[in-house]
């Protein structure tokens, strides 16, 4: 079966398939649809109310029926939209109705590099549609297509991502409480200690008086929110540990998590995050893996100027930061082991008490020598 592009359609032939191309610009207020058919060289546009996916399917079916009726051939509908706020639910709806859809990385699309480029939904949909035409013609590096995860894979990420948000919220509450206490000259109050609420009643200002009533009420409310967040974190961590420890877990990535957790220095959090963000999918080579997490190099060369701009940092941010954190922990452990193995005398001398400056100098010199010898 021969598939024809919409930009170069020959005379009708029995059994051939024509393509109708759709580009969708999504927003909460409106959806701008640009489409091209074999019936015209021009790009048609429609504007729909935002999130009305049924109306979008009706529009696609209307265009498909009209093209099929006038050409007398089967019609293949291909669509695309940029990944963003709406996630992948629309992709799944379109795929369910037999539409081949591409979810595009917005940062991979080529744009005008002028200082003040014109940007409207109309221009964006037209550029997106023309990029789809170029991709179907076989032009390389037109854009980057996002690999859409399954519903189960997407849901498996919720556990560690929710924990990350709760940990950030816990830090915010702790810093807020310490900041309020610092206003009264109190610097030794730790809201994460047991019985923190009872310890609040014993706090005294630098003048020896009790905390002002409104300030104390605000701190109490912050402590209540903090207790709730800590309880939620404990619940999520218990669920995470159950996945790691239970060999009969029904988690979609349970086997990979168990295998990764068997490695030395890989704890439950590292195992769940690395599998959920990176190793839930397959990579053909290390270049794909480096590109996915943003570890790929970014060289710059123009004329006589040539330098390295470091890693690209374009990719899965959570996977990249977790990998870097794990690398630092491994380096710290490895350095400590080589330090103790290669310079035992310095280690024994390091154990004896010294003044702070001498203690720091001996440790730094011994560690530097160990690294140099290794």
Q: Helix, strand, or coil here: 47? A: strand
pLDDT score at 83:
93
Beta bridge mates, 300 = 307
Of the chain, the percentage scoring pLDDT greater than 70 comes to 85
pLDDT digit string, tens, across residues 237-285: 999 999 999 988 889 999 999 999 998 778 999 999 999 999 988 889 9
Q: What is the pTM for the complete model shown?
A: 0.77
* Rounded Cα distance, 333 and 277, in Å: 25
> How many H helices and E strands in the chain?
13, 7
pLDDT at 364 over 50: no
pLDDT of residue 2: 44
Residue 306 has pLDDT above 60, yes or no: yes
Each residue's pLDDT tens digit, 102-135: 999 998 988 888 878 888 999 999 999 999 999 9
The predicted structure's pLDDT at residue 113: 80
> pLDDT, tens digit, for every residue of 82-96?
999 999 999 999 999
Cα distance between residue 253 and residue 270, in whole Å? 14
Is pLDDT of 335 > 80?
A: no
Distance CA 74, CA 77 (A): 10
> With 0-12 CB in 10 A as exposed, 13-18 as middle and 19+ as buried, what is 158?
exposed
Q: State mean pLDDT over 190-205.
A: 92
**Could you tell me which of 169, 150, 167, 154 has the C-alpha nearest to residue 277?**
154
pLDDT for 358 equals 42
360 confidence band (pLDDT: 50, 70, 90): very low
Q: What pLDDT digit, counting tens, does each position of 337-347 carry?
A: 665 555 555 44
In this structure, are residues 280 and 156 in contact, taking their beta carbons and an 8 Å threshold? Answer: yes
Task: Please check the confidence at residue 354 and state whether its pLDDT lies above 50.
Answer: no
pLDDT digits (tens, 9 = 90+) for 50-66: 989 999 999 999 999 99
Buried/exposed code over 249-269 (b: 16+ C-beta within 10 A; e: otherwise) = eebbbbebbbebbeeeebebb
Task: With a cut of 60, say whether residue 5 has pLDDT above it.
Answer: no
pLDDT band at 1 (very low <50, low <70, confident <90, very high): very low
The pLDDT mean for the chain works out to 85
Q: Class for domain 17-148, per CATH?
A: alpha beta
CA-CA distance, 270 to 272, in Å (whole number)?
6
Render pLDDT for 121-180 as a digit per residue (tens, 0 to 9). Answer: 999 999 999 999 999 999 998 999 999 999 999 999 999 999 999 999 999 999 999 999
pLDDT of 8 over the 50 cut: no
Q: Does the pLDDT of residue 46 top 60, yes or no?
A: yes
């Amino acid at each position: 079966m021969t598939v024809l592009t919409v930009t170069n359609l020959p005379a009708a032939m029995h059994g051939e398939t024509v393509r109708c191309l759709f580009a969708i610009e999504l927003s909460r207020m409106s959806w701008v649809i640009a489409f091209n058919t074999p019936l015209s060289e021009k790009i048609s546009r429609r504007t729909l109310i935002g999130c009305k996916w049924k109306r979008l399917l009706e529009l696609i079916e209307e265009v498909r029926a009209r093209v099929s009726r006038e050409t007398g051939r089967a019609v293949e509908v291909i669509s695309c939209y940029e990944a963003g706020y709406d996630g992948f639910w629309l992709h799944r709806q379109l795929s369910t109705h037999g539409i081949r859809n591409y979810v595009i990385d917005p940062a991979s699309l080529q744009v005008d590099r002028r200082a003040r480029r014109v940007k409207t939904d109309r221009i964006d949909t037209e550029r997106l549609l023309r990029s789809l035409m170029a991709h179907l013609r076989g032009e390389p590096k037109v854009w980057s297509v996002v690999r859409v995860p399954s519903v189960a894979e997407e849901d498996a990420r919720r556990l560690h991502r929710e924990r990350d948000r709760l940990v950030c919220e816990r830090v915010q509450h702790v810093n807020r409480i310490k900041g309020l206490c610092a206003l009264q000259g109190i610097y030794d109050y730790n809201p994460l200690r047991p019985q923190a609420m009872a310890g609040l009643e014993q706090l005294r200002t630098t003048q020896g008086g009790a905390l002002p009533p409104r300030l104390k009420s605000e701190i109490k409310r912050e402590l209540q929110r903090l207790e709730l967040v800590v309880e939620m974190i404990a619940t999520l961590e218990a669920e995470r540990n159950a996945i790691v420890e239970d060999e009969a877990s029904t988690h979609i990535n349970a086997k990979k998590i168990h295998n990764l957790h068997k490695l030395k220095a890989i704890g439950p959090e590292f195992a769940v995050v690395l599998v959920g963000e990176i190793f839930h999918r397959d990579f053909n080579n290390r270049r794909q893996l480096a590109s996915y997490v943003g570890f790929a190099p970014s060289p710059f060369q123009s004329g006589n100027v040539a330098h390295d701009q470091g890693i690209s940092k374009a990719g899965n941010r959570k996977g990249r930061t977790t990998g870097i954190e794990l690398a630092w922990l491994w380096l710290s452990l490895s350095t400590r082991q080589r330090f103790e193995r290669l310079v035992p005398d310095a280690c024994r001398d390091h154990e004896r008490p010294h003044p702070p400056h001498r203690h720091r100098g001996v440790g730094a010199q011994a560690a530097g020598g160990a690294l140099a010898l290794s």
